[in-house]
Amino acid sequence: MTITIYSSSSLLLRTAASSVRPISIHAAAAALYGRPAAGPQIRAFGIKTTLKAQEYMAKIIKADKSAAASKEAEFKGPKPQIDSYLNEMPPELRSPLFPEPMRAETMDRKWKSSDLEELDIGITKHRVPNRFSDKVALWAVKSARKPTDLLFRNKYLHRSVMLEVVAAVPGMVGALIRHIRSLQGMRHDGGWIGHLLHEAENERMHLMTWMEVGKPVMWERALIATVQTGFFAIFSLLYMVSPRTAHRVVGYLEEEAVTSYTHFIREIDAGRIENVKAPEIAVAYWNLDPESATLRDVVLAVRADEALHRDSNHHFSDRILAGRESLFEDMDHDESKPRVRY
């Protein structure tokens, strides 16, 4: 039997009968790294190669490696001055786009505890399910809450992190799917996309705030990431199949969020959770009074946001059911500007 070496990258063996078969990876690795092969001969798919052949292959491999290194050095040349590129920042990226709060009135003045307490958010508000799909949505949310209660109990800071990681998903998923459908249908969306993106951004800001206050341990982070991944997949499928039911699920999820944050406030009032100073990100986002803002004020602000998401998603579900998805007919318009559908 004769052996012919064709290329160090493929390492092919040709028999006298012209049948081509690759040698074993073990033999190639032994030749490449200069280690002795196991035994005087290596069997490669039924073909025996001698140690002499291995040495010859090793020379070819080393030659190819040397040639590749030379080419790499040739094309590499001087390293580009990355810093100079970074200094050429486009003007539109220099203007910070700080997230806007859900309630525009919070930007009128610095908000104090008394202002937040006076907000009428409907703490006990509940949408009674009428249709079968609504009952399934409510059952799913109630069922998902039970393991959360068992796992976190009164650890409301960590519970809040779990809640916001999940709650930030629906708005982004809904906006993405409606965006794609708007492109495919080549028609306006009815004004939903901006509101859904705003909701997702608001929930993410909740998460950024709680991460400043509570630090989940590694196993909690792993659990939260796993739950979010599963929820993202399930909710995306649900939204593609039945967006009306998907928004109803979010409405009931936000009802539970309002309840959880109400319990959070009670724990602070009872002294079981320390009412620490509000983090800077919360003060800036909700325009809180920097001198007096506390954790309790942050929870009040977050709860008010969740109440808005609750009402908005129930309303979205109702509009789909009524066949009046477009928001343009019912929007407040500035008469000085043209009415544009987008």
Lowest-confidence region among 128-132, 155-159, 256-260: 155-159
Q: How confident is residue 313, by pLDDT bands cut at 50, 70 and 90?
A: very high
> Who has greater pLDDT, 21 or 209?
209
pLDDT at 57: 61
- Average pLDDT in the chain: 81
CATH class entry, domain 104-330: mainly alpha
Mean of pLDDT values over 2-8: 42
Given a cut of 90, whether residue 91 has pLDDT beyond it is no
Q: What does DSSP say about strands 41-44 and 47-50: parallel, antiparallel, or unpaired?
A: antiparallel
Would you say the pTM of this structure is higher than 0.85?
A: no
pLDDT at 88: 80
Mean of pLDDT values over 105-121: 86
Given a cut of 50, whether residue 333 has pLDDT beyond it is yes
Kindly list the domain boundaries of the chain, sorted by start residue: 12-75, 104-330
> Helices (DSSP H) in the chain: which residue ranges?
25-33, 51-76, 82-87, 91-94, 113-117, 132-152, 156-185, 192-213, 218-241, 243-269, 280-286, 295-322
Q: What are the pLDDT digits (tens) for 155-185?
A: 888 888 888 999 999 999 999 999 999 999 9
Lowest-confidence region among 215-219, 241-245, 335-339: 335-339
Lowest-confidence region among 45-49, 169-173, 223-227, 320-324: 45-49
> Who has greater pLDDT, 65 or 216?
216
Q: How confident is residue 32, by pLDDT bands cut at 50, 70 and 90?
A: very low
CA distance 168 to 227: 13
Which bin fits 178, alpha (ψ -120 to 50), beta or left (φ > 0)?
alpha
Lowest-confidence region among 27-41, 123-137, 186-200, 201-215: 27-41
Given a cut of 90, whether residue 85 has pLDDT beyond it is no
Best CA proximity match to 281, nearest among 178, 172, 208, 184: 208
Query: Between the CA of residue 333 and those of 262, 330, 338, what are the distances in Å?
Result: 35, 9, 9
Q: How confident is residue 141, by pLDDT bands cut at 50, 70 and 90?
A: very high
